[in-house]
Chain A
Amino acid sequence: MYSQGLIGAKTDSAEDQAFLDAFQKRIDAEEKIEPNDPMPEGYRRTLVRQIGQHAHSEIVGMLPEGNWITRAPSLRRKAALLAKVQDEGGHGLYLYSAAETLGVSREEMTEELLAGKAKYSSIFNYPTLTWADIGAIGWLVDGAAIMNQIPLCRCSYGPYARAMIRVCKEESFHQRQGYEIMMTLANGTPEQKEMAQDALNRWWWPSLMMFGPHDSDSQHGDQSMRWKIKRFTNDELRQQFVDSTVPQGEFLGLTFPDPNLKWNEERGHYDFGEIDWDEFWRVVKGGGPMNKERLAARQKAWDEGAWVREAALAHAEKRKARAEAAKMAAE
């Protein structure tokens, strides 16, 4: 999931107009671009940034949910949550591989994340305080992610589009397991229903922020649309998400924390209130409740895994040397 509208990406290219026109012609003809094809530097840079953000989001996204694996209320819930978190790890790997086809290594991307140079979705900088948050994340956060990712299956860059097809297939289980948790709580004791309502109250606005800034404030959206990296604008996707999610919340008998949320017959869409953009930018720039903790957890995993990576490589070298020596001796 989750590349928040390419914050900080530069899409300018230095190639001559004939090259850019020829490239655009291929894009307009809906041809997929593959790794070794000629492409504008801005296209490559935009994709590296977007796919990298997306991959980091999958990996960092394992943390808030991992927090509840040992405390899941039943074996069924624990098995489902484990499977979901394992999927997120897999999705991160598909995406790192897709980015690597553009000439950047996973090590470089990881170093950029740890140095704070590469972003991940703002949503993971909020804490998971109760079990109901696991329900709300599956329903709302994965729901928003799916809304974002379905059009990415038609992205002009082949490896990214192929990775997204796999991710989307796997992620629909995530949203359904989350909604099932919410349903169970909403139909439970008054205290359980209250937990579900509290989780919805806390996750609703951050979920809407996942779609990124307004189109009018999104600097690079136009170029990404022309290159067919994106197919819909941030605001279009956000509206789609609100329209499909509100009836699901009503079915649960829960309310949304937005007094301006109401069906607009004329537009055929829900109207909703203004997002707190100060909060959005604060969280994106590192000032969210969990930013420090998330990066510290990634840094710890990287540092403490270093000896394992080194040992695996040393072992592979040793086995290779032994096999070669044995072959020499046999000749």
Chain B
Amino acid sequence: MAKNEIPLWEVFIRPRNGLAHKHCGSVHAADEVMALQAARDVYTRRGEGVSIWVVPSAAIVASDPEHKDENFEPALSKVYRHPTFYKIPDDVGHM
């Protein structure tokens, strides 16, 4: 980050109690107090949420898209991890 650039924060909003906070965008702000204020103004003008989290963007650790195949491909071939892999006769009823 160049000198004097205002840090970036990622914004997460809980739409209503019972649901998880979900990423909705980002804001620039000098500190966490202003980040929350900006997130409120930018992302909740129409009742989009009841709670906001802001996280410094620099604090997020992301998986490398180049490793997408070795990270996520193995899960695709393991069909036995899903309930539909197992054949149960209809007579047994719902399981």
Contact = CB atoms under 8 A, between A and B. Distances in A.
Nearest to A169: B46
A300 interface: no
Given A90-B41, A90-B42, A312-B34, A106 B4 contact: no
Interface of B is mostly: loop
Q: Which of A36, A97, A319 has the most B CB atoms < 10 Å from its CB?
A: A97
A316 B7 CA distance: 11
Q: Which of A38, A86, A310, A313 has the most B CB atoms < 10 Å from its CB?
A: A313
B2 A319 contact: no
Contacts of B34: 312
A315 B31 contact: yes
A37 B64 CA distance: 9
Contacts of B5: 105, 107
A159 to B, nearest CB: 9
B90 to A, nearest CB: 38
Interface stretch (B21-29, B69-77, B81-89): B21-29
A59 B91 CA distance: 65
B62 interface: yes
Contact of A312 (B6, B64, B65): B6
Nearest to B34: A312
Given A100-B8, A309-B6, A34 B30 contact: no
Contact of B2 (A93, A94, A105, A312): A105
A87 B45 contact: yes
B65 A36 contact: yes
Interface string A298-327: 000000000001101101100110000000
Contacts of A315: 30-31
Contact of B30 (A87, A90, A106, A312): A312
Nearest to A34: B65
Contacts of B4: 309-310, 313
Given A37-B65, A90-B45, A106 B25 contact: no
Interface of A is mostly: helix
Interface residues on B, range: 20 to 34
Interface in B1-56: 2, 4-6, 8, 25-31, 34, 41-42, 45-46
Interface residues of A, number: 26
Nearest to B46: A170
A163 B26 CA distance: 11
Interface string A242-264: 00000000000000000000000
A313 B6 contact: yes
B2 to A, nearest CB: 7
B30 A97 contact: no
A319 B31 contact: yes
Contacts of A105: 2, 5
Nearest to A162: B25
Contact of B31 (A37, A93, A100, A312): A312
Q: Which of A83, A93, A315 has the most B CB atoms < 10 Å from its CB?
A: A93
B41 to A, nearest CB: 7
A86 B31 contact: no
Interface in A91-110: 93-94, 97, 100, 105-107
Nearest to A313: B30
Interface of B: 2, 4-6, 8, 25-31, 34, 41-42, 45-46, 62, 64-65
13 contacts: A37-B65, A83-B45, A94-B25, A97-B8, A100-B8, A106-B28, A309-B4, A312-B6, A312-B29, A312-B30, A312-B31, A315-B31, A319-B31
Given A97-B26, A312-B29, 13 more contacts: A34-B65, A36-B62, A37-B65, A86-B41, A90-B41, A100-B8, A106-B28, A107-B5, A163-B25, A310-B4, A313-B6, A316-B30, A320-B31
